[in-house]
C-alpha cells in the first residue's frame, strides 16, 4: 500500500508517526486510550512464528480473526451450537509423506555427515514419524483434543452437558479424536460416539461430502502448486547448499518444512527445523498450500459450495426444528443443543467457501497466481485447518435484536478456530451476526442453487474415481 503512495504522502506519513511518538510522554498519565501505557511492549515484541503459517500441518492454535468478541455479544445467549472439527494431530498424511517427506528422509539416512551452520543438528536428528502408523492420532494430538474439548465445555457450559451423541467417520483418527475430545466433559461416560458408515438420512454427505462425490479429486491445484514450489524451493535449496551434504530438491524443501509442523505436533514442542527457514521462505510455503487448497477445496473449485451445503443445510434444519418443536428432530436426543462432528481437513474449507467466510472483502474474484504470492488474499487456511481446526455455527437469542424493537431476536454466528467470522452477505446482527430469518433465506437460496449435488458429483460415471 505504502509503495503505491506518491512520495510526498509517504513523507507525511513518516512525519505523522514521528510527531505522535514525540507526543507520547506529554500525554502519559492522561486517559488516551490509543496510546499504549507501555508503548514498548507493543512495538518491540514482534516475532514471526512459522507454526502459525502451516496450512494443514500445524498443532492447533486459536485464530486471531477480526477481533470480534468470542463470548456472545452483550444481551445475547447462545442457545444452540454445532461444530465440524478436523481430527487431531497424526504422524503424517500418507500422500504428503510419500511425495515430500520420505524422499528427504531417505537421503538423510544416507548422508549423516556434512551438516553445518543452521543445519548442524541434522547430523543427529531423528524423524519422529513412525511410518507404520502414519495416519493415527499421536499422543500429543490426543492431549490437544482434550484441551479443545474442555475449551468448548467452558464456552458452552449450559449446552455441552446435554450432549448425548456425537459423530465421527470410519477412520480411527476421527473416532480417537472424538474419544479424547470429551474426556474433560463431566458426563463423558454417557456420550455415544456414532461412527457414520452409511448415508442414513444423508449423514455421510454432511460429514464427508467429498467421499460421496465421484467428481471430487485431490488433483486440482497440484500443477499450480508444483510451479510455485519449483520456484521458491530452488532458491531455498541454493541458500542452504553450503550447510549440507546433498542438494535439496524443491520437494525436499517442502518435506523439511512440513517436518517443522509434524514434529511440533507429534512431540508437543517446537521442532528445531522451524528455525532453519527465513520468514519469507515460510510465507512462500504457506502460499504454496493456500494455493493448493484454493483449487482443491476452496473458491477455485466449482464443486466446493456443493460440498459445503449439505452440512450447512442439515444444521440449519436442526436449529429451525429446535425453534419450532423445541426438539432438534431426526434421531437426535430431544434435549441436545450442542452438536459435534469429527471429519477431515477438506470439509471446514467447503463450508467456509459456501458462505464466503474466507473471501476477500472486495467483490473482486479470488485470485491465486502461481508465479507470485498474493499477499492480500483472505484465504488463509492456516487459520482454519490446523489439527483440530473447526468451523462452528451458533444460534443466539438477543434482547435488542428484533428489527421492530419489540422483543428478542434470533441470530446465527460462525466461528473458525474460536474466532467469530462474519458471513460477507449477512452481518447486520449483534457482533456482526446474521438474523436467523435472513440466514434461513441465504441457506435456502444456496441449498436450492446447490441442490444438484448428484448432477455435479456423479457426472464422470465412466472414469469414476475410486472413493477412498
Ligand atoms: C471421564 O471423566 C472422569 C472425571 O473427569 C475422568 O477421570 C475419566 O478419565 C474420563 N473418562 C473418559 C473415558 O473420558
Ligand atoms: C445420501 O442421503 C441423502 C438423503 O437421504 C440423499 O439425498 C443422497 O442422495 C444420498 N447420497 C448418496 C451419495 O448416496
Ligand atoms: C467468494 O468468492 C468466490 C470466488 O471469487 C465467489 O465465486 C463467491 O461468490 C464468493 N462468495 C461469497 C459468499 O461472496
Ligand atoms: C489477490 O487476491 C485478491 C482477491 O482474492 C484479488 O482481488 C487481487 O487482485 C489478487 N492480487 C494479486 C496480486 O494477485
Ligand atoms: C440470557 O440468559 C440469562 C441467564 O439465564 C437471562 O437472564 C437472560 O434473560 C437471557 N437473555 C435472553 C436475551 O434470552
The helix/strand/coil state of 323 is helix
Contact 410, 323 (CB under 8 A): yes
3-state secondary structure of 84: strand
Burial class (CB in 10 A: 0-12, 13-18, 19+), 135: middle
Give me the residues paired with residue 414 across strands.
393
Residue 464 CA to ligand 2 centre (angstroms): 18
Please indicate whether residue 202, judged by its CB atom, sits closer than 6 Å to ligand 2: yes
Instruction: Please name the helix (run of DSSP H) or strand (run of DSSP E) that holds residue 338, with its range, or none.
Output: strand 338-343
Judged by DSSP in three states, 303 sits in coil
| Index of the ligand 1 atom closest to the CA of residue 179 | 14
Q: Answer yes or no: are the C-beta atoms of 210 and 350 closer than 8 Å.
A: yes
Q: For residue 185, give the ligand 1 atom closest to its CA.
A: 2
Which pLDDT belongs to residue 163? 97
Q: Which H or E run includes 397?
A: strand 390-398
Q: Which atom in ligand 2 lies closest to the alpha carbon of residue 204?
A: 1
Cα separation, 129 vs 70, whole angstroms: 35
Ligand closest to 182 (CA) is: 1
Q: Which residue is closest in CA terms to ligand 4's atom 4?
A: 366
What is the structure's pLDDT at 128? 93
| CB within 8 Å of 167: residues ≥ 6 apart | 178, 193, 194, 195, 196, 203, 207, 340, 341, 342
205 CB within 6 A, ligand 2: yes
Spatial separation of the C-alpha atoms in residues 222 and 24, rounded to whole Å: 51
Q: Please list the pLDDT of the chain residue by residue as tens digits (468 residues).
A: 333 333 333 333 333 333 333 333 333 333 333 444 555 555 556 788 999 999 999 999 999 888 898 999 988 999 999 999 999 999 999 999 999 999 999 999 999 999 999 999 999 999 999 888 899 999 999 999 999 999 999 999 999 999 999 999 999 999 999 999 999 999 999 999 999 998 888 889 999 999 989 999 999 999 999 999 999 999 999 999 999 999 999 999 999 999 999 999 888 899 999 999 999 999 999 999 999 999 999 999 999 999 999 999 999 999 999 988 889 988 899 999 999 999 999 999 999 999 999 988 767 778 999 999 999 999 999 999 999 999 999 999 998 765 555 568 899 999 999 999 999 999 989 999 999 999 999 988 887 887 788 888 986 554 444 443
Q: Is 293 exposed, middle or buried (0-12, 13-18, 19+ CB in 10 A)?
A: buried
Model pTM score = 0.88
Supply the pLDDT for residue 64. 86
CA of 300 to the centre of ligand 3 (A): 9
In the numeric block, the cell 449423514 is attached to 203
What number of other Cβ atoms are within 10 A of residue 56's Cβ?
A: 23
Q: How far apart are CA 135 and CA 153, in angstroms?
A: 27
CA distance to 100, 128, 170, 402, 446, per residue, from 262 (Å): 13, 8, 23, 48, 37
Find all residues with CB under 8 Å of 334, minimum gap 6, and list them: 326, 327, 328
Distance CA 73, CA 64 (A): 17
pLDDT for residue 459: 65
Residue 33, pLDDT score: 38
Separation of CA 212 from chain center? 22
Cβ atoms of 168 and 341 within 8 Å: the answer is: yes
CA distance 269 to 304: 34
**Are the C-beta atoms of residues 144 and 89 closer than 8 Å to each other?**
yes
- Identify the residue whose cell numbers are 465421527: 168
Residue 273 near residue 260 (C-beta atoms within 8 A): yes
Q: What are the residue ranges of helices labelled H in 211-303?
A: 222-240, 250-267, 279-297
DSSP secondary structure letter of residue 417: T
**Which cell numbers in the block locate residue 272?**
528445531
pLDDT number for residue 20: 34
Structure confidence at residue 156 (pLDDT): 96
The three three-digit cell numbers of residue 158, written as one number: 449450559
Ligand 2 pocket, 467 CB below 6 A?
no
Do β-strands 192-195 and 419-420 pair in parallel, antiparallel, or remain unpaired? unpaired
Residue nearest to atom 8 of ligand 4 (CA): 367
Q: Whose CA is nearest to atom 5 of ligand 4?
A: 366
Q: Which ligand 4 atom is nearest residue 379's CA? A: 5
- Residue 157 makes CB contacts below 8 A (sequence gap 6+) with none
**Domains of the chain, start order:** 76-89+137-213+303-461 (3.40.50.1240), 94-135+219-293 (no CATH)
List of residues 6+ apart from 424 with CB closer than 8 A: 355, 356, 357, 359, 361
Ligand 2 centroid distance, CA of 207 (Å): 12
Test site for ligand 1: of 183, 184, 191, most ligand atoms within 8 A of the Cβ: 183
φ, ψ of residue 433 to 5 degrees: the values are -85, 175
Any ligand 1 atom below 6 A from CB of 183: yes
Q: What is the DSSP string of 422-462?
A: -BTTB--SGGG-EEHHHHHHHHHHHHHHT-THHHHHSTT-T
Residue positions counted in the chain: 468
pLDDT at residue number 53:
95
Alpha helices (H) along 326-435: 347-355
CA of 184 to the centre of ligand 1 (A): 7
188 Cβ closer than 6 Å to some ligand 1 atom:
yes
Cα 207 to middle of ligand 1, angstroms: 27
Amino acid at each position: 500500500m505504502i509503495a503505491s503512495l506518491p512520495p510526498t504522502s509517504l513523507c507525511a506519513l513518516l512525519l505523522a508517526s514521528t510527531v505522535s511518538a514525540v507526543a507520547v510522554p506529554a500525554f502519559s498519565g492522561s486517559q488516551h486510550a490509543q496510546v499504549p501505557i507501555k508503548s514498548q511492549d507493543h512495538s518491540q515484541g514482534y516475532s514471526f512464528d512459522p507454526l502459525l503459517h502451516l496450512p494443514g500441518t500445524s498443532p492447533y492454535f486459536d485464530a486471531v480473526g477480526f477481533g470480534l468478541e468470542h463470548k456472545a455479544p452483550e444481551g445475547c445467549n447462545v442457545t444452540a451450537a454445532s461444530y465440524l472439527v478436523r481430527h487431531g494431530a497424526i504422524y503424517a498424511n500418507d500422500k504428503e509423506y510419500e511425495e515430500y517427506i520420505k524422499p528427504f528422509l531417505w537421503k538423510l539416512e544416507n548422508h549423516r555427515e556434512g551438516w553445518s551452520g543452521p543445519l548442524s543438528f541434522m547430523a543427529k536428528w531423528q524423524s519422529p514419524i513412525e511410518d507404520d502408523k502414519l495416519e493415527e492420532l499421536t499422543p500429543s494430538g490426543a492431549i490437544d483434543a482434550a484441551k479443545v474439548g474442555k475449551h468448548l465445555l467452558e464456552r458452552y457450559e449450559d449446552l455441552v452437558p446435554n450432549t448425548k451423541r456425537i459423530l465421527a467417520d470410519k477412520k480411527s483418527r476421527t473416532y480417537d479424536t472424538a474419544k479424547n475430545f470429551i474426556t474433560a466433559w463431566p458426563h463423558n461416560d454417557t456420550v455415544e460416539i456414532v461412527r457414520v458408515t452409511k448415508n442414513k438420512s444423508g449423514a455421510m454427505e454432511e460429514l464427508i461430502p467429498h467421499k460421496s462425490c465421484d467428481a471430487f479429486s485431490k488433483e486440482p491445484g497440484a500443477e499450480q502448486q508444483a510451479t510455485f514450489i519449483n520456484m521458491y524451493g530452488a532458491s531455498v535449496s541454493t541458500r542452504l547448499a553450503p550447510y549440507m551434504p546433498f542438494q535439496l530438491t524443491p520437494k525436499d524443501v517442502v518435506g523439511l518444512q512440513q517436518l517443522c509442523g509434524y514434529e511440533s505436533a507429534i512431540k508437543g514442542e517446537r521442532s528445531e527445523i522451524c528455525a532453519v527457514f527465513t520468514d519469507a521462505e515460510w510465507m512462500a510455503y504457506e502460499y504454496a498450500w493456500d494455493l493448493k487448497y484454493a483449487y482443491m477445496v476452496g473458491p477455485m473449485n466449482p464443486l466446493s459450495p456443493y460440498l459445503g451445503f449439505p452440512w450447512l443445510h442439515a444444521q440449519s434444519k436442526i436449529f429451525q426444528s429446535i425453534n419450532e418443536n423445541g426438539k432438534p428432530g431426526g434421531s437426535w436426543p430431544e434435549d441436545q443443543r450442542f452438536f459435534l462432528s469429527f471429519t477431515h481437513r477438506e470439509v471446514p474449507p467447503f463450508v467456509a467457501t459456501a458462505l464466503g467466510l474466507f473471501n476477500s472483502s472486495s467483490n473482486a474474484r479470488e485470485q491465486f497466481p502461481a508465479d507470485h504470492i498474493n499477499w492480500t488474499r483472505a484465504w488463509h487456511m492456516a487459520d482454519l485447518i490446523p489439527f483440530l481446526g473447526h468451523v462452528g455455527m451458533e444460534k443466539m437469542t438477543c434482547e435488542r435484536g428484533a428489527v421492530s424493537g419489540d422483543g428478542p431476536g434470533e441470530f446465527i454466528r460462525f466461528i473458525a478456530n474460536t474466532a467469530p467470522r462474519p458471513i460477507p452477505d449477512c452481518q447486520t446482527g449483534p457482533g456482526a451476526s446474521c438474523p436467523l430469518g435472513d440466514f434461513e433465506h441465504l441457506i435456502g437460496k444456496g441449498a436450492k442453487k446447490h441442490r444438484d449435488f448428484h448432477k455435479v458429483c456423479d457426472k464422470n460415471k465412466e472414469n469414476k474415481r475410486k472413493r477412498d
